[in-house]
Structure 1
Amino acid sequence: MNKLILTFAVGSLLLYSCGNSTNEKSNNQTEVAEQNNHHHDDESEAIELNNGEKWKVDANMITHIRNMENDINHFANVEQKDFKSLAEKLQSNIDLLTSNCTMKGKAHDELHKWLLPYIDMVKELSEAKNETEASEQFKNIQTSFSTFNQYFQ
């Protein structure tokens, strides 16, 4: 139940930050956010390419995404793993990303299909109860960036 409430809150924040102006659109996207939390493998929610090409992410947004990816790549090579600190850095960039959302249209919608599950992964990393849990979530985040790079540039 808490995960559903959190997903709804995050989805609402993202939609508000991205400047969606109609309630109908917000409600539809919030429903997608809630569904992403429960049905990650559903084909209708799979990220799609832009007619076979990667989607272009706005320059001011890709900066924060690449910062997170660099943090992940650097963290993979350090011996002393401070997962909580990493989660804080990632969350800081998520906050910057969502507050600077300028994308619109299909590219925006496709980015959200990647971003909402990613936000959940970072939250789970921050809440990991032990190093094994944190390490598992870190691997999921690494995989998420592989997915991002398949669909976005």
Structure 2
Amino acid sequence: MKKSITLIILISALVISCKNSEKQEDIIPSKEVLQEQTDLLSTQWMNDIQLNNGSKWETNIETTEGVEKMQELLKAQSTASIDDYHQLANQLNEVKNKVVKECTMKGASHDNLHIWLYPLIEKVSALSKTNDIDEASKIKQSIIDNVNAYTTYFQ
């Protein structure tokens, strides 16, 4: 009987210990998570994108209008809470989906648009998932920088 009780206590202690270590892992981000966050805010894409022999790339009107709509949303949408950031992310995602759907670009201009667009897609996705207000603020600023850089490379 004493062996059974001792065994039950040991198993209970092990289960509690495992649950506590799982919670600890949730609290402390792994190196991979920290690297993803750093990569997310990276401006590396600016080193990868090219101009069209020193000139801006021609885009279709729907793309430019979509970017202008994103700029308006970023200026107008209040972001005082996580819900506000999530709402902004949803609105930006809708505009992005329309831009992608209506894109008629081809060739090098299209390829360079994707270099600009891919990090933006990742940032909007991350903004929709974060539950940390400080992180959301950093992601939003990175989105603003990304969206505003459009006019540096495209017309």
Q: Which bin holds the TM-score, normalised by the shorter protein?
A: 0.5 to 0.7
Q: In the alignment, what sits opposite 1:146?
A: 148
| Segments of 4+ moved more than 6 angstroms | none
Q: In the alignment, what sits opposite 2:120?
A: 118
Question: Partners of 2:45 and 2:69 in 1: how far apart?
Answer: 29
Q: In the alignment, what sits opposite 2:129?
A: 127
Q: Percent identity among equivalent residues?
A: 31
Is contact 2:86–2:128 with CA below 8 Å preserved after alignment? yes
Q: In the alignment, what sits opposite 2:50?
A: 48
Residues 68-124 of structure 1: CA distance to partner in whole angstroms, max 9, x if unpaired?
11111223xx47451011000000011111111110011101100000110000001
Is contact 2:70–2:95 with CA below 8 Å preserved after alignment? yes
Counterpart amino acid of 1:143? D
TM-score, length-normalised on structure 1?
0.66
Counterpart amino acid of 2:56? K
Q: Which runs of 5+ in 1 are unaligned?
A: 1-35
Secondary structure class of the residue paired with 1:56:
coil
What aligned pairs does 1:4-83 form with structure 2 within 5 A after superposition? 41=44, 46-75=48-77, 78=78, 80-81=80-81, 82-83=84-85
Q: RMSD over aligned Cα, in angstroms?
A: 2.3
The aligned length equals: 114
- Which has the greater radius of gyration? 2
Question: Partners of 1:104 and 1:151 in 2: how far apart?
Answer: 16
Residues 35-56 of structure 1: CA distance to partner in whole angstroms, max 9, x if unpaired?
x98x96378x611111111112
TM-score, length-normalised on structure 2?
0.66
- Aligned in 2, Cα 1:79/1:118: closer, same or farther, shift over 3 Å? closer
Secondary structure class of the residue paired with 1:51:
coil
Question: Partners of 1:42 and 1:87 in 2: how far apart?
Answer: 21
Deviation larger for 106-115 or 137-146: 137-146
Q: Which runs of 5+ in 2 are unaligned?
A: 1-38
